Amino acid sequence: LNSTAALRSIDRNPAASPSPAVRVAISRDTLRALLQQLLKVRAHTLAITAPLSAEDCQVQSMPDASPIKWHLAHTSWFFETFLLGEFSHHYVPFDPEFKVLFNSYYNAVGAKHPRLERGLLSRPSLARVVDYRQHIDAALGAFVSVVAEADLRTVLERVTLGLNHEQQHQELMLTDLKHLLSINPTAPVYYANAPHPEALTNENPDRATQWISLSGGLIEIGHDSSTQATTRFAYDNESPRHRTFVEPYAIANRLVNNGEFLAFINAGGYRDPSLWLSDGFDQVQRGGWAKPLYWQQDSRSHWHEFTLSGLHTLDPEKPVCHISFFEADAYARWAGARLPTESEWEHAATHATSAHLLLQRDDQLWQWTASSYLGYPGFAAAKGAVGEYNGKFMCNQFVLRGGSVATPAGHTRTTYRNFFQPEKRWQFTGIRLARNQPQQR
Amino acid sequence: LNSTAALRSIDRNPAASPSPAVRVAISRDTLRALLQQLLKVRAHTLAITAPLSAEDCQVQSMPDASPIKWHLAHTSWFFETFLLGEFSHHYVPFDPEFKVLFNSYYNAVGAKHPRLERGLLSRPSLARVVDYRQHIDAALGAFVSVVAEADLRTVLERVTLGLNHEQQHQELMLTDLKHLLSINPTAPVYYANAPHPEALTNENPDRATQWISLSGGLIEIGHDSSTQATTRFAYDNESPRHRTFVEPYAIANRLVNNGEFLAFINAGGYRDPSLWLSDGFDQVQRGGWAKPLYWQQDSRSHWHEFTLSGLHTLDPEKPVCHISFFEADAYARWAGARLPTESEWEHAATHATSAHLLLQRDDQLWQWTASSYLGYPGFAAAKGAVGEYNGKFMCNQFVLRGGSVATPAGHTRTTYRNFFQPEKRWQFTGIRLARNQPQQR
Amino acid sequence: LNSTAALRSIDRNPAASPSPAVRVAISRDTLRALLQQLLKVRAHTLAITAPLSAEDCQVQSMPDASPIKWHLAHTSWFFETFLLGEFSHHYVPFDPEFKVLFNSYYNAVGAKHPRLERGLLSRPSLARVVDYRQHIDAALGAFVSVVAEADLRTVLERVTLGLNHEQQHQELMLTDLKHLLSINPTAPVYYANAPHPEALTNENPDRATQWISLSGGLIEIGHDSSTQATTRFAYDNESPRHRTFVEPYAIANRLVNNGEFLAFINAGGYRDPSLWLSDGFDQVQRGGWAKPLYWQQDSRSHWHEFTLSGLHTLDPEKPVCHISFFEADAYARWAGARLPTESEWEHAATHATSAHLLLQRDDQLWQWTASSYLGYPGFAAAKGAVGEYNGKFMCNQFVLRGGSVATPAGHTRTTYRNFFQPEKRWQFTGIRLARNQPQQR
Amino acid sequence: LNSTAALRSIDRNPAASPSPAVRVAISRDTLRALLQQLLKVRAHTLAITAPLSAEDCQVQSMPDASPIKWHLAHTSWFFETFLLGEFSHHYVPFDPEFKVLFNSYYNAVGAKHPRLERGLLSRPSLARVVDYRQHIDAALGAFVSVVAEADLRTVLERVTLGLNHEQQHQELMLTDLKHLLSINPTAPVYYANAPHPEALTNENPDRATQWISLSGGLIEIGHDSSTQATTRFAYDNESPRHRTFVEPYAIANRLVNNGEFLAFINAGGYRDPSLWLSDGFDQVQRGGWAKPLYWQQDSRSHWHEFTLSGLHTLDPEKPVCHISFFEADAYARWAGARLPTESEWEHAATHATSAHLLLQRDDQLWQWTASSYLGYPGFAAAKGAVGEYNGKFMCNQFVLRGGSVATPAGHTRTTYRNFFQPEKRWQFTGIRLARNQPQQR
């Protein structure tokens, strides 16, 4: 998975490990309950494909996307490889060829089918991949009784990781599907009836952005793996919790909306290089960019937006979506503001949410930050293959914070770090502005 | 269609048109019978897809190939566009968007969906495309009664063209499918039980090639559209019949076989630039070519060949297949021979066949000739969109003669001109050698 | 050299060799005279560079072109490799590294510096390459006395080949230089004062094209190597002389001029796919073609043409130049005509020239023919490295006939076959039309 | 310039401007002295080209590099555009076409000649570009007397910026030249005699790396533009000086040397994906990387290094050079360490240098840091065209600190931020390691 992170290794630093008393708390019943929760999550993965044909599930519409069928298989492969194959000694792989076919990027596991050729595999069929899922589900259902006592803690961690991995793919399935349908000249509808996953709202009774001022200082961000270990999952890239210094700043209470972004377009924003990073303006020219990814202008110059429920008239009050970092950065410059750093975002999300000041925090769109995706001070990737989950992608990507309409409920948290390259637009990404505040002396 | 040709326009030269007496022969009954034959041909197109899933029919495995679903739709579009839409005044298109989606390359018809993106259209589904076929079949079945008397002759010609067009796509479906399955690491089987379309034979009781000597001279080749007009179809690129001078030559009685080609490989044929055209050797190096397209060597150096019925041990006596012009040309040079020109091939096919001298003439593999694909003297493409069928491709391609195991029975004739670029290998293409003969004085 | 051909091997067929009496005619004096002629030709090569700076001689402006410095070195390498190194036993190479650096495409000679990187070699400097030329010239001057008696005939043939090779590079130097200067925004002048090499004329007192009718029939074309061997040089690709059948045809007495081509542009010729080969229209769209290579339109829509003497107002009566095969073919179709085959061109050049009917035959522009560049019946490339001169390029190119303002005087003849890919435009190429004639019965 | 930054705008925040008393200090004499210093710097630029031919100065050997001739012209264009053209009212441009030809990337100045085509301009010649330099030098020499009193401060700042810009190009000229010579199979020598610019030393009497421990804390880094404004230049990207929190860490006292890096190679470092960032390993495979850029292994497996003084046997004690960020990062991981952040580097350079603990700080090789190149908190690019100098490149690059053997003496400082993309190797870049320290409590 491109936008994720491996299980935080609680044993990395022996001195920081939970005490024996805490370890006792991990019982077989805990695992049983977690596996039941997992099976419900996995059932939802399949439910996402209900309105889709075998053909819809076959196609890879661009290099960044994967076929829905591949997602279904890979999320099963994940449990077969990292759970059943490792901790269930009698487990027989469903099909030995799947080991290579559905390995995404784990070099430690061995060979991988080329990423760009995922859509060329008409076999196995969708039906067989669904069989594969059911085979894995059955094995997971029976798994609790075959785990060795000594493996319970590790297994619990792996199941938790796998559950979060599955949820991440649920979001990717929707974004990949949206791209696939968007390039079809017939503008197909994924799911016509409400409630559908693309329920962007315009929850700003007073339309003008409110600026929330925060004084910053020497703050702490990140996940504290030493004390929260058994109660709360976080990816390894959210740790360690650490100190960082933040100057006084203000952050917008809501996301930039379509109407505001339209003003940027109408002001010539896409044609003025002084607003853009150099790489960004190169991308604008190379890609012929003049609008967000899924906007369309009809012959009468009216604006429409392609969504999973088809083409709709653009609603100026809904948050602007499918925006690259480059566009978010240029818009912010044009608006006399800037993007928040991830420290600022996390600080505000922690301190401004309680007072209901920070709207659209994590249920609408991922929010680009001004921070490159790098390891926190003291970060070390988990050992083994699952250590490839996050750490090896810390280069040439920017951090997004929050969550989106396509993110499964409860999946994210204030320390969550999503990340994509600055030119990517097919995720549910939007803009929250920030600005400097004069220092109070 | 890439490898075809438009209907010979018998009205191009008024003076050469058939006499009124001949015209009388075209009755409505003739059209009725032809339409019935067409529907049988079209039923076979669908039958080819019987062992395939919707996913198999969705994928475009490389730029040269098209999805099976696209073939099914395009061959229906052909009749909708050039027959029903033009001669059936009450005909309502099945879906107006199909006009663009399934236009292959007819600029005169209007816009086209980009060729390289055919595999990205998950909608319309296979089921809907099959509905489309049935809609067209029904309209064709009822068509005979709605054709105006004055259109009978033109309609008959168009139906004939469409029937031949449909047959060409039947062969392309098999070659495109073979490529799709070949790139799947699981080596899937299309059709395990005999009789399958890939029935290459080794019909050479005495294995050594026999050379058939012909004296040539001022011969005639090509289709005579003036006298055969009403009795025999030919594409426009087979006309006019014309004189050409051929030096004495000899032609091999059979195709080069796998064992012979293996000797070329083992002699370092793929590594010796002196055997190759310059563009050919560039292609060998760029593509890492060291064997025919579908050959595989296992870990014990045994050779296998991927076929529509799966992987098989290489049979040294079967004709070598999936050979580019470049490889055929290099092999011939290595063997001290050359490829025949298309004049030589047609002359031999006409004069040597009756005596059962020329084996494997048109039922095994297409045979590369040394002739570029150009218009015959006096050639003119048909008027209108159907004139785009053949003429506009007369550049940078070489002529193939004969026919293959994948060609529908009765589809080709001795004047038939197939053509592909010299680096293409996914068609059922093989090698027949020729050589110069000293002049008899 | 891309557009050339190796020495016709007179010994290929022993029975056809000249008689001993003829052989006697090749004396050391003949060789001495030929070498003197060669040195004059080589002096002219250097004279071409007189107006150029070292920088002008350094740059490779596109993959098809080579730096002037490279031409100077390669034409010296040719004599060092194929003459001095082979027949002068005491010859010491000027610099052993040059063997690889200046090998153009002779696989039999060994490794080659990559063609696309010729312009990246700042060393050896131009001055050192000129030293190299002088070293070779000195060795050629002293060469006559060191040749063994037994080698005289072969050496004479090689010197002749090298002289013609040198002349071909003289033309290529001008075309490559013209391209280099053309991409410079400052529109530099190569040679301002007359007489310069780009002296296109408008020698048609009565402007309308005259059509010369020829009856064709079973004619002969090509170079007769058996009888002309000692008196006249021809490349191997011009042989053997052979019979070919030509239908009655007419050929234009002059080349298409700028005014006529402008009418094609103004009629939308570049935008109408029905006029173009499919590959040609793809090229038009990919390259954004809307005019001949070196035409420019100023802000007031006036047309200018970049030449070696700078930018000039377009003269409507001069022949249109720097035209690809695709453009020539499309123009001919638009004009209701076609391009001549090379048989037709050679036949007309032989029979219509004496009566001064065929104007601008070989002193203005190369003329695209409708013929692919293939070997004549019975063609076999010369043995050894010089056999790579022509034969290995017989693929995906079209034949041009005639000669151009940039061709050294006396270099071509009616059997001469030049060849380039159909999209190339940087040579001095133009259009002569032909059309079918009704048969006289 | 790719690796630079625009003049810090001291007027950005009026409240922070120097007091009137300070302003008085900028007299015409100060400007006169600075201009004299500038002319000496510019004379050195030309001196770098002394051993080079016009051809050496013409070639652009890869997209990242520029021709030496272009550097000479662009550094003159810089003064013509940003100084003479703006502040000398009677100044006449040397050649109006140069405005576009030698604009590097300043969109605010107007059109630019395409970067990838810099090497294709044989005109203007090197001689004319040298004339251009002399013309600018003369104008700069006379400039002090024509500057308006009111412009003195701004002019002084611009001259300072231009002087630093000129120095940056001096380093780029050497790195671009080194690449050009390196791809020449003859391994040419730029400058055989000592002292040459590539004087890498092995100044580590005891070879083992010493680790310098620092306690970090809430430190300050960056240039303080408010108090140092008139005494010390810094680019805008070095400001503002700001607080940042640093955990305890250790930093290596010297750079990684060739012997150590060879151990990484011999241990299979280039073949083990677990050591690399994902993008890094992709680059390794795509580029076939198995060693630093300029290392060569001869037929007896001995290692050599290409330098500006030719090929030399690899010295295991000299610092390893021409290393990408990807290689530095992978090496550090293999060595059980990491790269320092730029905060750590600057902190160590400030506090550890005085005690002579930090060897090879800025006179050997640029040192990759783990920090992405982003704006400091409160950073704002300068207004106008010079604001394009640094800020628009803050994306997908990593910061390098220190300086190199090719950096002009006195050019850098501890706050200096150099930056390149993580795959670049043609700069003089090396590795200094860091590692975490347990917290002292």
Residues of A in Cβ contact (< 8 Å) with B59? 58, 119-120, 122
**D-B interface (Cβ pairs under 8 Å ≥ 3):** no
Q: What is the DSSP secondary structure assignment for residue B94, as one 8-state letter?
A: S
Q: How far C95 CA lies from chain D's nearest CA (Å)?
A: 11
Q: What is the pLDDT of residues B251-297, one digit of tens each?
A: 999 999 999 999 999 999 999 999 999 999 999 999 999 999 999 99
The two structure tokens encoding residue C139: 């060795």
CA-nearest of A414, A26, A22, A14 to A220 is: A414
Share in percent of chain A as helix, strand, coil (round to 5): 40, 10, 50
As a residue count, chain A comes to: 441
Q: What is the dihedral of CA B146, B152, B155, B157, to 10 degrees?
A: 160
SS3 call for A213: strand
Q: In the prediction, which pLDDT does C19 show?
A: 41
Can you tell me which residue has the tokens 């991308």?
A: A283
Mean of all residue pLDDT scores within chain B:
90
Least trusted range by pLDDT, from A348-357, B192-201, B252-261, C315-324: B192-201
Q: Which residues of C touch B (CB under 8 A)?
A: 105, 107-108, 218, 242-247, 273-274, 276-281, 341, 370-372, 374-375, 377-378, 388, 392-396, 422, 436
> What's the whole-number mean pLDDT along residues C281-298?
97
H-helix segments, C207-268: 258-266
Residue B279: its H or E element = helix B278-287
CA-nearest of D177, D99, D92, D186 to D136 is: D92
Which is it for the CA torsion C286, C290, C291, C294, positive or negative? negative
Residues of C in Cβ contact (< 8 Å) with B244? 244-245
Q: What is the DSSP secondary structure assignment for residue D125, as one 8-state letter?
A: -
Residues D132, D95 contacting (CB under 8 angstroms): yes
Q: Which residues of A touch B (CB under 8 A)?
A: 53-59, 61, 69, 97, 100-101, 113, 117, 119-127, 180-181, 183-186, 188
Residues C412, C362 contacting (CB under 8 angstroms): yes
Q: What percent of chain D has pLDDT over 90?
A: 82
How many secondary structure helices (H) and strands (E) does chain B include?
Answer: 11, 12
Q: For residue B205, what are the contacts with CB-CB under 8 A and spacing of at least 6?
A: none
Cross-chain Cβ contact C395/B436 below 8 Å: no
Alpha carbon distance D23, A335 (integer Å): 34
Residues B214, B249 contacting (CB under 8 angstroms): yes
**B18 pLDDT higher than 70:** no
Q: In the prediction, which pLDDT does B293 show?
A: 98
The two structure tokens encoding residue C95: 């610099």
- For chain A, the straight-line distance linking the first and the last C-alpha, in angstroms and rounded, comes to 46
DSSP A131-149: HHHHHHHHHHHTGGGTS-G
Q: What is the pLDDT of residues C58-96, one digit of tens each?
A: 999 999 999 999 999 999 999 999 999 999 988 999 999
- Identity of the residue in D59, D100, D120 whose CB atom sits nearest the CB atom of C120: D59
**What are the C-alpha distances in Å from B13 to residues B23, B259, B357, B380, C165?**
16, 51, 38, 11, 48
**B321 pLDDT higher than 70:** yes
Least trusted range by pLDDT, from A243-252, B422-431, C230-239, D22-31: D22-31
Which residues partner with D221 through β-bridges? D242
Which residues partner with B295 through β-bridges? B305
Residues of B in Cβ contact (< 8 Å) with A119? 59, 119
**What are the C-alpha distances in Å from A299 to residues A166, A296, B113, C26?**
42, 10, 20, 80
Residues A308, A191 contacting (CB under 8 angstroms): yes
Least trusted range by pLDDT, from A15-24, A84-93, B12-21, C173-182: B12-21
Q: Which residues of A touch D (CB under 8 A)?
A: 105, 107-108, 218, 242-247, 273-274, 276-281, 341, 370-372, 374-375, 377-378, 388, 392-396, 422, 436
Residues C271, C306 contacting (CB under 8 angstroms): no
Instruction: Say whether the peptide bond before residue C20 is cis (omega within 30 degrees of 0).
Output: no
Q: How far D57 CA lies from chain C's nearest CA (Å)?
A: 8
The bridge status of strand B429-430 relative to strand B366-372 is parallel
**C-A interface (Cβ pairs under 8 Å ≥ 3):** no
CA-nearest of A347, A358, A345 to A209 is: A358
- Identity of the residue in B122, B125, B180 whose CB atom sits nearest the CB atom of A122: B180
Tell the burial category of A213 from Cβ atoms under 10 Å away from its Cβ (0-12, 13-18, 19+): middle
Q: What is the pLDDT of residues C365-422, one digit of tens each?
A: 999 999 999 999 999 888 888 888 899 999 999 999 999 999 999 999 999 999 999 9
CB atoms closer than 10 angstroms to residue D141: 14
- Identity of the residue in C108, C375, C436 whose CB atom sits nearest the CB atom of B274: C108
**B369 pLDDT higher than 70:** yes
Alpha carbon distance D333, D336 (integer Å): 5
Tell the burial category of B62 from Cβ atoms under 10 Å away from its Cβ (0-12, 13-18, 19+): middle
Radius of gyration of chain C (CA): 22
CA A338 vs. chain centroid, Å, equals 23
pLDDT band at A42 (very low <50, low <70, confident <90, very high): very high
Cross-chain Cβ contact C274/B108 below 8 Å: yes
> What's the whole-number mean pLDDT along residues A234-245?
96
- Identity of the residue in C375, C378, C388 whose CB atom sits nearest the CB atom of B247: C378
**What are the C-alpha distances in Å from C374 to residues B218, B342, C61, D162?**
20, 13, 29, 61
Residues of A in Cβ contact (< 8 Å) with D105? 278
**What are the C-alpha distances in Å from C439 to residues B225, C247, C371, D286?**
17, 8, 22, 62
pLDDT band at B300 (very low <50, low <70, confident <90, very high): very high
Three-state SS for D377-403 is: CCCCCCCCHHHHCCHHHCCCCEEEECC
Residues B419, B355 contacting (CB under 8 angstroms): no
Q: In the prediction, which pLDDT does C439 show?
A: 64
- Identity of the residue in B59, B100, B185 whose CB atom sits nearest the CB atom of A119: B59
Alpha carbon distance D219, D240 (integer Å): 14
ipTM of the complex: 0.92
Tell the burial category of D304 from Cβ atoms under 10 Å away from its Cβ (0-12, 13-18, 19+): middle
This prediction has a pTM of 0.93
**B20 pLDDT higher than 70:** no
Q: Which amino acid is at D288?
A: G
**C246 pLDDT higher than 70:** yes
Q: What is the DSSP secondary structure assignment for residue A371, as one 8-state letter?
A: E
Cross-chain Cβ contact A58/B61 below 8 Å: no
Q: For residue D172, what are the contacts with CB-CB under 8 A and spacing of at least 6?
A: D1, D2, D3, D66, D71
The two structure tokens encoding residue B364: 């095994």
Q: Which amino acid is at D339?
A: L
Q: How far D97 CA lies from chain C's nearest CA (Å)?
A: 7
**What are the C-alpha distances in Å from C108 to residues B288, B334, C82?**
21, 16, 11
- Nearest Cα residue in chain D from C187: D123
Q: What is the pLDDT of residues C334-364, one digit of tens each?
A: 999 999 999 999 999 998 766 678 999 999 9
Diameter over CA atoms, chain D: 70
Alpha carbon distance C429, C426 (integer Å): 8
Q: Which of B392, B435, B441 to mutate to test the interface with C (most CBs of C within 10 A)?
A: B392
